Amino acid sequence: MSGAGGPVGAAQDPANSDTVLVRKGAYHDSVTLMRISGALTALPGVAAAMVAMGTELNLGILRDLGFSVPAADPGDLLIAVRAHDPGAAVEEAERLLSSVRPPDGGSAEQPPLTTGSAARGGADLVLVSTPGEHAFAEAQDAVRAGLPVMIFSDGVPVAQERLLKELAESTDVLVMGPDCGTAVIGGVGLGFANVLSPGPVGVVAASGTGAQQVTSLLDWAGTGVSHVLGVGGRDLSAEVGGLSTLRALRMLDDDPATELIVLVSKPPSPGVAAAVREAVGRLRTPVVPALLPETDLTEAAERALRTLGRPVPEWPSWPAWSGRQTRAKTIKGVYSGGTLGAEAATVAGQGEFVDYGDDAYTRGRAHPMIDPTLRVEALAQAHESELVLMDVVLGHGADPDPAASLAHAVARTPATVVIALVGTEGDPQDLHRQAAAFREAGAAVFTSNAQAARHARSLL
């Protein structure tokens, strides 16, 4: 994901003063900085605030906000505030930043300054979450050290992805990503991850939200997972050749805790798909493909349950409370997950669908699973003749209370709204409370994205 911390601004007021500080070499991840920026902006007397890393993109955003920007490097932290009392706002920023710094345990030792030196300290997996232009070097250090790596960053050139995965073949490790948003390793969630019970299903996923939909449905059915190995959305492209997918399949095939593998992806390259099918034929473990548009994700989850000899439940849904009569003539897809949006477009068979999680929308801002701003705006701009079909994805890493901002927008929009609520009963957001809030706001809510799309189509 991008390295922006999330600017929030307002028009300049002569009574306000600007302060911009640079903290050399003080790295924090973009999600933390976005939340701190939001907390500062909510303070009385603060007109604009941005806490972000000193990338060229973020420096440009600060200039657009009217700040005078000092020299800074991508590894430097910027604290910019426009307020009646900027000193108090900066003090609060420092307090919030110190609260998220990991404790040093009282040790006077210098912490590792590079991925390579950290890897020599006994790590068993590396997570890279830097701006995309800086991810390759860190991931390469991890692979050369013989460690698997999850690259959360997007914006990594495909040629670099191919090089990393070819290098991983020679060092016998797995590269998850780039743009790998979800993984679960031995019960530990990385990135955006739902709370899942342990169980016999392993997942190889070239789609984070696709994996979350399948595993959430399995969890609803009382079937847990062993591991979820994300491989990045481009892995099954002709340019990358499925290198991580093939390795992940072999790893799960060798895992005694995995009795069944589900392979999740948007449409793969035909040549790569053929190579994957050939590799699947050599595995001992049965594989259920969840490849759009051949099958939808709900059908794949149901097939996995039947393969394991387990019953398929009725997937929970909550009809809308509102008595509003729909006058919708077309579907407007407002999605945070690209695979979920692609699935809904296929099932609905019509409409205009936007993936707000695409790189074009996340550059310079947090992912829409964290920051609802763009989708709130889309709901505000929807018309009575439109039916808005959207996903809300729960779990660790996602918005801690998506209904707090989105439900108000749902209630105010003149459009009919249908929501795919992807999550489990163990997720920290409380799925049932989220469903109740959206239903009260006038939306119909489904735990199956495919069922939500079919319902939307039936309302036109």
User: What is the tens place of the pLDDT at every residue in 348-379?
Assistant: 999 999 999 887 887 767 788 988 889 999 99
Mean pLDDT over 160-165 rounds to: 97
Q: Is the pLDDT of residue 44 over 80?
A: yes
For residue 72, is it within any domain? yes
Note the pLDDT of residue 406.
Answer: 95
Tokens, residue 181: 């948003």
Do residues 202 and 339 both lie within one domain? no
Residue type, 459: L
Range of the domain at 445: 317-459
Tokens, residue 237: 């492209």
For residue 107, is it within any domain? no
Q: Is the pLDDT of residue 159 over 90?
A: yes
Mean pLDDT over 289-302 rounds to: 95
CATH number at residue 412: 3.40.50.261
Cα atoms in the Cβ-side hemisphere of radius 13 Å centred on 183: 24
Tally of CB atoms within 10 A around 162 = 16
Do residues 293 and 322 both lie within one domain? no
pLDDT band, residue 10 (cuts 50/70/90)? very low
Give percent of the chain with pLDDT exceeding 70: 93
For residue 8, is it within any domain? no
Do residues 379 and 421 both lie within one domain? yes
Contact 221, 305 (CB under 8 A): yes
Quote the CA–CA distance of 129 and 57 in Å, as a whole number: 16
Do residues 140 and 225 both lie within one domain? yes
More confident residue, 430 or 373: 430
Note the pLDDT of residue 85.
Answer: 92
Q: Closest Cα partner for 212 from 391, 407, 33?
A: 391
Close Cβ partners of 430 (under 8 Å, ≥ 6 residues apart): none
Q: Where are the beta strands (DSSP E) in 299-415?
A: 317-318, 330-335, 352-355, 386-393
100, 132, 147: which is the final residue of a domain? 100
Quote the CA–CA distance of 111 and 98 in Å, as a whole number: 16
Do residues 415 and 439 both lie within one domain? yes
Tokens, residue 200: 């016999």
Contact 330, 352 (CB under 8 A): yes
For residue 312, is it within any domain? no
Q: Is the pLDDT of residue 1 over 70?
A: no
Residue type, 11: A
Note the pLDDT of residue 4.
Answer: 42
Do residues 296 and 399 both lie within one domain? no
More confident residue, 239 or 106: 239
Contact 407, 433 (CB under 8 A): no
Q: Which residue has the tokens 């690209």?
A: 338
273, 307, 341: which is the final residue of a domain? 307
For residue 7, is it within any domain? no
Tokens, residue 422: 């992807």
For residue 4, is it within any domain? no
For residue 227, is it within any domain? yes
Mean pLDDT over 170-198 rounds to: 95
**Regarding beta strands 260-265 and 287-291, do their DSSP bridges make them parallel or antiparallel, or are they unpaired?**
parallel
Q: Mind listing the pLDDT tens digit for each residue in 48-57?
A: 889 988 888 7
Sheet holding 444-446: strands in order across?
317-318, 444-446, 416-422, 386-393, 330-335, 352-355
Q: Mind listing the pLDDT tens digit for each residue in 128-147?
A: 988 888 899 999 999 999 99
Do residues 268 and 159 both lie within one domain? yes
Note the pLDDT of residue 43.
Answer: 87
Note the pLDDT of residue 314.
Answer: 97
Note the pLDDT of residue 109.
Answer: 61
Q: Is the pLDDT of residue 105 over 50?
A: no
For residue 257, is it within any domain? yes
Q: Closest Cα partner for 407 from 344, 318, 339?
A: 318
Tokens, residue 158: 């495909």
Note the pLDDT of residue 11.
Answer: 44
Do residues 322 and 302 both lie within one domain? no
Q: Is the pLDDT of residue 410 over 70?
A: yes
Do residues 144 and 231 both lie within one domain? yes
257, 289, 307: which is the final residue of a domain? 307
Tally of CB atoms within 10 A around 334 = 27
Note the pLDDT of residue 106.
Answer: 44
Rg of the Cα atoms in the chain? 23
Quote the CA–CA distance of 149 and 139 in Å, as a whole number: 7
Number of domains the chain contains: 3
pTM of the model: 0.82
Mean pLDDT of the chain: 90
